[in-house]
């Protein structure tokens, strides 16, 4: 706050988990809450389920998520602006539903891996 009582906030003062020294992150695959919180405050299993959904997205689209953006842009947009992979039309409704439940905005509502194995096995048939 300056002498005129104006708050001065710099993005340089904000630290996201993908900026931690000594760590390399690919924020396109990282759950939003994992970008916003400290690692010890994040449910890693729920965050891993989000990452799994992004891998599914890659498989069905044969694209890299947010390939036109830098890691910094991706991290900021995912953490602060709600940037998410868009599920394209024309993919299997089962895969679409699986991706949606695995990318639930509420980490507590994402399934556990042992819950999706039977779904994946059914999809294989």
Residue 48 covered by a domain: yes
pLDDT digits (tens, 9 = 90+) for 2-15: 455 554 444 444 44
Q: What integer pLDDT is reported at residue 4 of this predicted model?
A: 58
Which CATH number is 61's domain given?
1.10.510.10
Residue 95: is its pLDDT beyond 70? Answer: yes
Which contiguous run of DSSP H or E holds residue 116? helix 113-124
Q: What integer pLDDT is reported at residue 62 of this predicted model?
A: 92
Residue 1 covered by a domain: no
Residue 21 covered by a domain: no
Q: Which range of residues forms the domain containing residue 58? A: 27-122
Give the integer Cα–Cα distance in Å for 16 and 106: 19
Residue 74 covered by a domain: yes
| pLDDT greater at residue 26 or residue 21 | 26
Residue 88 covered by a domain: yes
CA 58 to chain centre: 13
User: Predicted confidence band at 116 (pLDDT cuts at 50, 70, 90)?
Assistant: very high
pLDDT digits (tens, 9 = 90+) for 35-70: 999 888 999 999 999 999 999 999 999 999 999 999
Residue 17 covered by a domain: no
Mean pLDDT of 19-27: 62
Q: What integer pLDDT is reported at residue 106 of this predicted model?
A: 98
Residue 47 covered by a domain: yes
List Cβ neighbours of 15 (8 Å cut-off, separation of 6 or more): none
Q: What integer pLDDT is reported at residue 3 of this predicted model?
A: 58
| Domain total in the chain | 1
Give the integer Cα–Cα distance in Å for 37 and 55: 22
Model pTM? 0.79
Residue 6 covered by a domain: no
């Amino acid at each position: 706050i300056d002498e005129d009582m104006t708050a001065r906030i710099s993005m340089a003062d904000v630290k996201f988990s993908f900026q931690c020294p000594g760590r390399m992150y690919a924020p396109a695959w990282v759950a939003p809450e994992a970008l916003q919180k400290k690692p010890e405050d994040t449910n890693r299993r729920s965050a891993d389920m989000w990452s799994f959904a992004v891998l599914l997205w890659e498989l069905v689209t044969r694209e890299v998520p947010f390939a036109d953006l830098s890691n910094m842009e991706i991290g900021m947009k995912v953490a602060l602006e709600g940037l998410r992979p868009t599920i394209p039309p024309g993919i299997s409704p089962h895969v679409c539903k699986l991706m949606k439940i695995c990318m639930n905005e509420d980490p507590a509502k994402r399934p556990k891996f042992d819950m999706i194995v039977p779904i994946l096995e059914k999809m294989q048939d």
